[in-house]
């Protein structure tokens, strides 16, 4: 094997390794961002949910106590029905939000597609 051919093969291998390293670094960065985004969203949603549930429960209790005795059962049932409707609406909204989120690792996938297109004959 000639020295020039060996040198070309080494340069090609070095270029491929550098390309692979760059893609892995991009993937690693996106993975860290995705994990941080998911953790922040989950924690935020949990805090909001707990505070909303406490506020709604105490508000409903105050309303039931404030209503005259003969109407307390009807008031409690109406509040329970309202909470059920709100729960369904929240589940619907979360389902739509989960479907609309951007695909994870979109930049890495796009870069790999560009690499593949540039290597095709």
Q: Say how far apart CA 77 and CA 84 lie, in whole Å.
A: 11
- Give the pLDDT score at 111: 76
- The string of pLDDT tens digits covering residues 47-106 is 988 898 899 999 999 999 999 999 999 999 999 999 999 889 988 988 888 787 666 667
The pTM of this model reads 0.51
Secondary structure percentages of the chain, helix, strand, coil, to 5: 90, 0, 10
Dihedral sign for Cα 64, 69, 73, 74, please.
Answer: negative
Domain boundaries defined on the chain:
3-119
């Amino acid at each position: 094997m000639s020295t020039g051919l060996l040198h070309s093969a080494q340069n090609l291998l070095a270029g491929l390794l550098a390309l692979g390293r760059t893609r892995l670094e991009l993937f690693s960065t996106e993975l860290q961002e995705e994990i941080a985004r998911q953790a922040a969203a989950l924690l935020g949603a949990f805090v909001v949910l707990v505070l909303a549930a406490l506020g709604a429960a105490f508000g409903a209790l105050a309303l039931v106590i404030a209503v005259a005795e003969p109407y307390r059962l009807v008031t409690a049932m109406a509040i329970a029905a309202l909470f059920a409707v709100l729960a369904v609406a929240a589940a619907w909204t979360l389902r739509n939000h989960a479907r609309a989120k951007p695909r994870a690792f979109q930049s890495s996938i796009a870069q790999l597609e560009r690499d593949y297109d540039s290597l095709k004959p």
